[in-house]
Amino acid sequence: MYVQIWDGDYVVISSQNTRTTTSNTLYPVFNLILDTDGDFVDDNFESQLAEKFSPVLHKHSWEKQQDLSSVDWILTGKATLKGYNILGQEVHSSTLSAPSQIHIYQQWHRDSFGSGDYWTFWQLDIDDSYRYQGAPVGQRPVYYHVYKEGNYYYVQYWFFFNMNDLAGQSNNNTWHEADFEHVSIKVNSAYTPVAVNFYRHEGGRTFAASDCWWSSSDSPTYSGIAQGYSSSRTHLHIWTAANAHASYNRYSKVWRVIASGAIVNPCLTIANEDYTDNVDYDPSSSDLYFENDYLEKLGEFRESPLHQASNGQYYPYAHNYHWLDHNEPVNNSKPWLCFVGRFSGDYWAKTCFLIWGNMNTQPPLSPIFDDPAKPSHEWKGFTEEYSPYGFGNPFEYAPFSVVTMMFNNDIPDGD
C-alpha cells in the first residue's frame, strides 16, 4: 500500500499493518505529525515541551539592557546590513525594513546566507540609539529550539540582547553589539529533565536537574522557587550576569578572567584585566527580571550542495537556501536564522576582523552557524562538561603575551 502526502508541513514518522489480508481488508496505522521544520519531531509536541519548562530570567541591578530584544524588531529599520571584501572595503550597505531583507543574493560573489565567495564578510550594525533598548512590551520573545538525539529530547532557550557592555565593570573598554545566550535542558523519554547546561561564556557548566532551581510558574518572582525539579515545579530559573548576558545556575561560582601582558591585538583591549561576572542570586538588593511575552520557535535549517565560486573552488558555506530559489530559506521559521554574518558594530567587525584577522575577538554569529575557530556552537549539541568552545573567550586563543583564565574559581558567589 502506498500513501502520498501532498502537504509538505506533515510527515509520516511510522506505519504498520499496511498490507492487505487474504480477504483484502486493510488495517493501516499511520503516525502523521505536523512537522513544518522537517526535524521529525511533532511541532505541537515541541511547543508543549517549551511551554512546560519555560524559564524565569533574573536580572542584575547593574544591567544596562532594558529588556529582552527581538531580532525581528531590530530588522525593521533599526539596523544596517553591511558587507566587506578581504581588503576591508565596503561592498554592500542597506538599512533593513523587514527581516526577509537580511538575505542578500547577488550570484556567487555576495550571499549573506553563505553561498559562493567565502571572502565576503557580513555584519549587522544595530543603530546606536537602540543598543540598550529592549523590544516593546508584547514583542519580547524567548526563542526555543527542540531536537531529539537517541532517547533524549533537548530543549534550548535562546535570548537575544542588543548590547554587551562591560566597560563600566572592567579595567578596559570591553564591549560588543549583540549576543545570543542560551540554556539547554536534557529531557528523558518520560519528559522529565535530567540535566541543564548553563552556557556562561565558554561552553557552559552542566548541572543535574535536582541541583537547579524551579517553580510552578514562569512568572517573574522568587515566590515558590525551590531547588530540585518536580512535577509541580517545572519552570527553570536562570540568573544572568550584568551586561555580559552569561547564564548561571543559582549560587554557581561565577566566571572570571585575569589577563596581563602586552597587547598584541588592539581590538581586544583587556590587558591588565581582572574581571568577574556580577550575578545577583538573591532579591535582597534588587528583584529584577528580563520579562518575556511569548515563546517563539526558531525552526531548523538544511544544508544545500556546495556551490562553486569564481576561483573554481567549492565552499562549505553554501547552505541554508533553496537550491531553486535563492530568496527562499529552507525549513526555517525565521529568515535571519540562516544569516552567516555577525551581529556587530562597525568598529568591531570592520577593524578587528578584517584588518587583524582574529575571529576570536568577535561577537557571536547566528545560533546555527559553526564558527571555524570555535567548532561547537551548541545548536544541536549538549555540553555535558566544560568545553573550551563557544561564544566566550576560550583561553587557547587569548591574544596576550601572558594570560591566565580562571573558571569556577574560589571568589565569593554573587556580587
Which position has the higher pLDDT, 332 or 53? Answer: 53
The Cα–Cα gap between 368 and 41 comes to 18
Q: State residue 192's pLDDT score.
A: 97
pLDDT at 138 over 80: yes
Residue 190 belongs to what H/E stretch?
none
Q: Which residues of 53-83 are buried (b: 16+ CB within 10 A; e: fewer)?
A: bbbbbbbbeebbbebbbbbbbbbeebbbbbb
- 317-354 pLDDT tens trace: 444 444 445 455 555 568 788 787 888 765 454 344 44
CA dihedral (372, 376, 303, 247) in degrees, to 10, reads -120
Q: Three-state SS for 205? A: strand
CB-based contact 230:268 (threshold 8 Å) = no
Alpha-carbon Rg of the chain, whole angstroms?
23
The Cα–Cα gap between 136 and 91 comes to 33
Q: Which bin fits 81, alpha (ψ -120 to 50), beta or left (φ > 0)?
A: beta
**Residue length of the chain:** 415
Residue 47 belongs to what H/E stretch?
helix 43-52
pLDDT at 104 over 70: yes
Q: What is the DSSP letter of 46?
A: H
Q: Three-state SS for 361? A: helix
- 275-296 pLDDT tens trace: 788 999 999 878 999 999 999 9
pLDDT at 414 over 50: no
How high is the mean pLDDT of the chain?
74
CB-based contact 75:96 (threshold 8 Å) = yes
pTM for the model: 0.81
Which position has the higher pLDDT, 356 or 140? Answer: 140
Give the number of other Cβ atoms within 10 Å of residue 327's Cβ.
12
The DSSP-derived string for 274-341 is EEE-----STTS--EE---SEEEE-B---PPPPEE-TTS-EETT--SS-SS-TT--SSBS-GGGG--S
- Shortest CA distance to 247 belongs to which of 290, 287, 218? 290
The DSSP-derived string for 99-132 is GGGG--BBTBT-BTTS-S-TT-EEEEEE-GGGTT
Which position has the higher pLDDT, 410 or 60? Answer: 60
**Confidence tier at 214 by pLDDT (50, 70, 90):** very high
CB-based contact 382:186 (threshold 8 Å) = yes
Q: State residue 379's pLDDT score.
A: 75
Among the residues of 135-257, which ranges form H helices? Answer: none
pLDDT at 400 over 60: no
